[in-house]
Chains A and B, each alone.
Chain A
Amino acid sequence: MTRLRKDKIEHSRRRFLIGSVGSGLLMAFAPSINALEVVTGGASEQLAAKSFSPTVWFEIDTQGKILVNIARAEMGQHVGTAIARIVADELGADWNNVEIKHVDTDPKWGYMVTGGSWSVFQTYVPMSQAGAAGRTVLIEAGAKLLGVNPKDCSTHNSHVVAGDKSISFAEIVKNGKIERTFSPEELAKFEPKSPASRQLIAKPSQALDIPAKTNGTAQYGIDIELEGMVFARPVIPPTRHGSKVTSVDDSAAKSIKGYQGYEILTDPSDTVQGWVTVLADTYYAAVKAGNAIEVKYDLGETANVSEQDIISQGETLAKDKTSGTLVVEKGDIAKAAQNAKTSLESVYKTSSVLHFTMEPVNAAVEFKDGVCHVHCGNQWQSLFLPVVAKAVGMSDDKVIIHQYYLGGGFGRRLAGDYMIPAALTAQAIGKPVKLVFTREDDTRFDCVRSPSVQQMNAYWDGDDKLLGIEHGAAAGWPTMAMAPAFMPEGVDKKGKFDPFSIAGADHWYTLKNHRVRAINNPLAQKTFVPGWLRAVGPGWTGWAVESFMDEIAHKQYMDPIDFRLSMLDASGKNAGEAPVSVGGAKRLAKVLTDIRSQTNWGQTLPKNQGMGIAISSGQERDMPTWGACVAHVEVDVESGKVKVHKLTGVLDCGTVVHPDGALAQTQGSMLWGLSLALFEGTEFTKGQVKDTNLDTYTPLRMNNLPDLDISFVQNTEFPTGLGEPGLIAVAPAIANAIFNAVGARVRDLPITPEAVLAAMPS
């Protein structure tokens, strides 16, 4: 599976600069090798001119304060803390002196994306090396000041220490003129510290962004105020694509105090089609004006599309064995199907799901001195910066996106589409504009998780031996809609596919014959912009794979854990590769074995209660986080209602860099899994989502909180990611538990009481 290649920054080809700038000491990666050709001067000169990559840089001032600049979006994952601890650990810094700052973008500085649970995974080695390089320089300068041999020095608590002599980082920065450049080769020689010598990584810590989030001072995009700004609200057209404004009547809005007028937007980037924005002195006046204004449209062609229309198309495509692009092709599944004596065919579906970030999307835009300044929280600045530029007819280097805390990301803010109407409105009126979506505007403009349909077929020979599995997954593809350049070719070279929408289908079970087809649902693609939603593809492929594995186990009269273990032999491609997936399927077998004893699997439970198991391997085969989940549920057989008593999760993400952050992320992602399993789901009616606010859209609240028992396998392997993987196994674990409790097999998400009742054995 392909990660965003542009995001795989090749630090091995970058130099690392350390130099005195002003009164402080600055350390940063040089820009990529091509940009270097035009960069001249020593380390200090380059650093002072800010000719460096923003991926990481950190500075130490004369007070010994260490500021780590983070080019990742902070949306609740405390990513800055995790990254800063890697640097600080290598430096030998006193954690109490470390601060983080989330930086603004400037297009020349490099690629900015936060998603896919990649941050720690991708930054672990370069950040370790950067910290080690910093330590080397501080030791050299400190040794000189102490009059000792650098070889006898180490760093601890922001001091360079040699025997009974020591000097603080602050003193070194004050005293030494430092100038040093590490070549890529020198940098590559720094190995991350051995686990035993770590001072911060994997130790308990508090996240640096938390205090500001308990007293109202944390600044989110929606909190921005620009001098002389006008408030705006969008009028969302009836279809996502193809609507055209035919007339606007704002006579009813004119009596609203503070109403300034409206703009019909023309968008060269085609992101927003048929959009009007209303303008006012205050946001509430803009809200009222948006309600009062009457806009008439030529409707786009999807004006009558329903959820069922999209699902029906998915069902047809998933059933058609010639559709889609082959992503896994092992053995000969067609022959296995032909020779099969028995088979099992199941169809799994998931409904549309909203991101529903607590902070509705918004952006404030100002044109100043020929530069378009966009202020908002965003996860993938580099994706939409060129789109903003195209929309306003400026070059990429004239657009800057200023970053703030995100009031929830979950994949919604990977898309930066909400910047466009703000930029166009500001350009049209020649004043700064703050465009805020109401909740209803936000949900109607959401890039929802596409409905999905998956056809799963299993085949057995005459001796009841499993021959193989065929898997077709049809859905709308976010990557096709927003970043088609990141779509790789299928193994049959018959077309490209969205890797994020099929990941998880290429699981770690060893099968003799295995075929996976990734199928785009064109009606979904036309009707809305499919979005990346927390866990993306594995959020639905995991649902089908792990429910189906249970169905197969039961058909073979095997215990579901024993059955899974029998398939996790870590042979062939499932052996894993050092360092990232070292151990392969064996590590899945370990979490399964651990969770079996931890949950006392097989214990006798009261009537209508059951436990269910499911596993997952995270977001991608190239970055596996190994996980198992056991759900303990109770089914009310009269109403079909499901109560989840407890969720147990055992995860192996390699080295846990920030233990409490890891636990927090997993608590959140497992509860997301529960919310998506039982409480969330909407549908398209007349081309738009039916549920636009909390009166009918009902995410999990505290009154449905189950007991959580989450643990991490303690090892020192390469750290992978944790933002999403906890989510994946929860829904299938719940479904498998429902089956074990009352014998009802449910195959649609969300699981409704009606579906449970309908599936009850008579």
Chain B
Amino acid sequence: MIEFSLNGKKITSDAEADTPLLWVIRDEFGLKGTKFGCGIAMCGACTVHFNGSPVRSCSLPISAIANAEIRTIEGLDNQHPLQKAWVEHQVPQCGYCQSGQIMQAAGLLATNADPSEEEIEAYMSGNLCRCMTYARIKEAIQDVAGQSESVVQIYNPKRDAQGVS
């Protein structure tokens, strides 16, 4: 039995130790916003925050997350400035990868509140978007990055993970 925190709630799972976190989140706890894409950590659709850092949940066995803080797209409570920017810039097309894109971008801004264009490209290139919404993803991130640091840090997941909010 593995105990961890999911979006701020302490939970336990009886899933086999090698089960990727993705399936536990989706099928055991019913949070379907995190998506299955490639299964080999190369598309980013399954990105969640593990103690504040973006990880690919499709390749992370739950044995590795004991007592960790896990945050999914649902855990942003529809309040993250990136989510607003995603709507303003009309980023999603099919939308399937966008939970992962937002979680990845949130991880970027939490540690680098005003990234350069090159830093955005480098950080976001692990996330595939088959609809190729890259130009809008980049614009939306730049838009939020241009806002004051405090706006971005409202949802600094690292701080959340440390119990400081």
Residue of B at shortest CB range from A406?
Answer: B94
Cβ-based interface call for B90 (8 A) = yes
Q: For residues 195 through 236 of chain A, which have their beta carbon under 8 Å from a beta carbon of chain B?
A: 206-207, 209-220, 222-223, 225
Distance A347 CA – B21 CA, assembled complex (angstroms): 50
Cβ-based interface call for B2 (8 A) = no
Q: From known contacts A216-B73, A217-B33, infer whether A667 and B95 are also in contact, taking CB-CB under 8 Å.
A: no
> Contact string, A248-268, partner B, CB cutoff 8 A, digits 1/0?
000000000110000000000
> Contact string, B115-131, partner A, CB cutoff 8 A, digits 1/0?
00000111011111111
16 residue pairs from A and B, CB less than 8 Å apart: A206-B90, A209-B95, A214-B83, A217-B33, A220-B35, A220-B96, A358-B96, A360-B36, A405-B96, A407-B94, A408-B96, A664-B136, A693-B42, A694-B128, A699-B130, A702-B138
Check B33 against A701 for contact (C-beta < 8 Å).
Answer: no
Task: Give which listed residue, B102, B121, B136, contacts A703 with CB less than 8 A.
Answer: B121
Cβ-based interface call for B60 (8 A) = no
Check A284 against B16 for contact (C-beta < 8 Å).
Answer: yes
Cβ-based interface call for B86 (8 A) = yes
Residues in B with CB closer than 8 Å to A675 are: 132
Q: From known contacts A215-B78, A439-B38, infer whether A359 and B125 are also in contact, taking CB-CB under 8 Å.
A: no
> Contact string, B17-38, partner A, CB cutoff 8 A, digits 1/0?
0011001000100111111111
Residue of B at shortest CB range from A283?
Answer: B23
Cβ-based interface call for B97 (8 A) = yes
Residues in A with CB closer than 8 Å to B133 are: 664, 667-668
Distance A359 CA – B125 CA, assembled complex (angstroms): 19
Check B93 against A664 for contact (C-beta < 8 Å).
Answer: yes
Residues in A with CB closer than 8 Å to B36 are: 222, 359-360, 436
Chain B interface (Cβ within 8 Å of chain A)? Answer: 15-16, 19-20, 23, 27, 30-40, 42-43, 45, 72-74, 76, 78, 83, 86-87, 90-99, 102, 120-122, 124-138
Residues in A with CB closer than 8 Å to B92 are: 76, 209-210, 213-214
Check A702 against B125 for contact (C-beta < 8 Å).
Answer: yes
Check B131 against A668 for contact (C-beta < 8 Å).
Answer: yes
Residues in A with CB closer than 8 Å to B95 are: 76, 209-210, 212-214, 218, 405, 407
Q: From known contacts A210-B92, A213-B98, A694-B42, infer whether A702 and B23 are also in contact, taking CB-CB under 8 Å.
A: no
Distance A283 CA – B39 CA, assembled complex (angstroms): 12
Check A439 against B40 for contact (C-beta < 8 Å).
Answer: yes
Check A708 against B90 for contact (C-beta < 8 Å).
Answer: no
Check A358 against B45 for contact (C-beta < 8 Å).
Answer: yes
Q: From known contacts A282-B27, A701-B128, A705-B138, infer whether A216 and B94 are also in contact, taking CB-CB under 8 Å.
A: no
Residues in A with CB closer than 8 Å to B32 are: 216, 219, 223
Q: For residues 644 through 660 of chain A, which have their beta carbon under 8 Å from a beta carbon of chain B?
A: 660
Distance A214 CA – B77 CA, assembled complex (angstroms): 11
**Which 6 A-B pairs rank lowest in CB-CB distance, beginning with the nearest?**
A216-B33, A213-B95, A76-B93, A407-B96, A76-B94, A671-B132
Residues in A with CB closer than 8 Å to B137 are: 702
Residue of A at shortest CB range from B19?
Answer: A284
Residues in B with CB closer than 8 Å to A439 are: 37-40
User: What does DSSP make chain A's interface, helix, strand, loop or mixed?
Assistant: loop
Cβ-based interface call for A438 (8 A) = yes
Distance A215 CA – B74 CA, assembled complex (angstroms): 6
Residue of B at shortest CB range from A703?
Answer: B125
Check B83 against A359 for contact (C-beta < 8 Å).
Answer: no
How many chain A residues touch B (CB < 8 A): the figure is 62
Check A358 against B35 for contact (C-beta < 8 Å).
Answer: yes
Cβ-based interface call for A299 (8 A) = no
Check A358 against B42 for contact (C-beta < 8 Å).
Answer: no
Task: Give which listed residue, B33, B39, B131, contacts A76 with CB less than 8 A.
Answer: B131
Residue of B at shortest CB range from A281?
Answer: B27
Cβ-based interface call for A409 (8 A) = yes
Distance A210 CA – B85 CA, assembled complex (angstroms): 11
> Contact string, A669-701, partner B, CB cutoff 8 A, digits 1/0?
001100100000000000000000111000111
Distance A708 CA – B76 CA, assembled complex (angstroms): 31
Q: How many A-B residue pairs have CB under 8 A?
A: 169
Residues in A with CB closer than 8 Å to B127 are: 701-702
Most B Cβ at <10 Å: residue of A206, A410, A661, A705? A705
Distance A438 CA – B36 CA, assembled complex (angstroms): 9
Residues in A with CB closer than 8 Å to B37 are: 358-360, 439
Distance A356 CA – B93 CA, assembled complex (angstroms): 15
A232 nearest CB across to chain B (Å): 13
Check A408 against B102 for contact (C-beta < 8 Å).
Answer: no
> Contact string, A98-125, partner B, CB cutoff 8 A, digits 1/0?
0000000000000000000000000000
B16 nearest CB across to chain A (Å): 6
Check B35 against A660 for contact (C-beta < 8 Å).
Answer: no
Residue of B at shortest CB range from A665?
Answer: B93
Task: Give which listed residue, B15, B33, B96, B132, contacts A215 with CB less than 8 A.
Answer: B33
Cβ-based interface call for A75 (8 A) = yes
A376 nearest CB across to chain B (Å): 14
Residues in A with CB closer than 8 Å to B125 are: 701-703
Q: From known contacts A210-B87, A216-B34, A358-B97, infer whether A671 and B134 are also in contact, taking CB-CB under 8 Å.
A: yes
Check A705 against B16 for contact (C-beta < 8 Å).
Answer: no
Q: From known contacts A358-B128, A701-B134, infer whether A77 and B42 are also in contact, taking CB-CB under 8 Å.
A: no
Q: From known contacts A210-B92, A213-B98, infer whether A672 and B19 are also in contact, taking CB-CB under 8 Å.
A: no
Residues in A with CB closer than 8 Å to B15 are: 282, 284
Task: Give which listed residue, B27, B93, B96, B134, contacts A702 with CB less than 8 A.
Answer: B134
Task: Give which listed residue, A214, A357, A671, A701, contacts B87 with CB less than 8 A.
Answer: A214
Distance A283 CA – B125 CA, assembled complex (angstroms): 28
Residues in B with CB closer than 8 Å to A75 are: 93-94
B70 nearest CB across to chain A (Å): 14
Check B19 against A282 for contact (C-beta < 8 Å).
Answer: yes
Residue of B at shortest CB range from A707?
Answer: B135
Residues in A with CB closer than 8 Å to B98 are: 213-214
Residues in B with CB closer than 8 Å to A700 are: 132, 134
Residues in A with CB closer than 8 Å to B87 are: 206, 210-211, 214
Give me 4 other A-B pairs in contact (C-beta within 8 A), A407-B95, A705-B121 excluded: A216-B31, A216-B73, A360-B36, A405-B96
A435 nearest CB across to chain B (Å): 13
Check A214 against B121 for contact (C-beta < 8 Å).
Answer: no
Task: Give which listed residue, B31, B122, B135, contacts A667 with CB less than 8 A.
Answer: B135
Check A216 against B135 for contact (C-beta < 8 Å).
Answer: no
Check A358 against B130 for contact (C-beta < 8 Å).
Answer: yes
Residues in A with CB closer than 8 Å to B38 are: 439, 693-694
Distance A702 CA – B129 CA, assembled complex (angstroms): 9
Q: For residues 57 through 88 of chain A, which have their beta carbon under 8 Å from a beta carbon of chain B?
A: 75-78
Check B121 against A702 for contact (C-beta < 8 Å).
Answer: yes
Residue of B at shortest CB range from A77?
Answer: B93
A242 nearest CB across to chain B (Å): 28
Distance A210 CA – B131 CA, assembled complex (angstroms): 14
B92 nearest CB across to chain A (Å): 4
Residues in B with CB closer than 8 Å to A214 are: 78, 83, 86-87, 91-92, 95, 98, 102
Distance A695 CA – B129 CA, assembled complex (angstroms): 16
Distance A222 CA – B72 CA, assembled complex (angstroms): 17
Residue of B at shortest CB range from A663?
Answer: B90
Residues in B with CB closer than 8 Å to A664 are: 90, 93, 133, 136
Q: From known contacts A219-B32, A671-B134, A703-B121, infer whether A695 and B40 are also in contact, taking CB-CB under 8 Å.
A: yes
Residues in B with CB closer than 8 Å to A284 are: 15-16, 19-20, 23
> Contact string, A443-476, partner B, CB cutoff 8 A, digits 1/0?
0000000000000000000000000000000000
